[in-house]
Structure 1
């Protein structure tokens, strides 16, 4: 993966993460699964030909500090 491809993936993951955080802040009592599914699918759709959903989710986790990059 080139640096430009990595930046494109991280940019999409960052936008998704920001939208997830704002949706959770707006609806704190709503179940996370009902909020996150449509948002993640919406942000993954443009980059889906190049990146798997698992890689996209892992990148979001790295941005949020849940996983460490290798």
Structure 2
């Protein structure tokens, strides 16, 4: 069966964010369940942090920009 040039893949090939190998269809975007589990463990351990604004200034007063 020849590949149809009109067909576009659903998503471009990616490499695994943990080890760099090619992502597997059944573990996307990871290459395996092992890498997916490693990533989950990192999230649960708090190794990934999304930065946010502080709610109080250093002197303990609320930040006036955050008041409703």
Q: TM-score, normalised by structure 2?
A: 0.25
Question: Which is helix-richer, 1 or 2?
Answer: 1
> Which one scores higher on RCO, CA 8 angstroms, separation ≥ 6?
1
Q: TM-score, normalised by structure 1?
A: 0.24
Greater gyration radius:
2
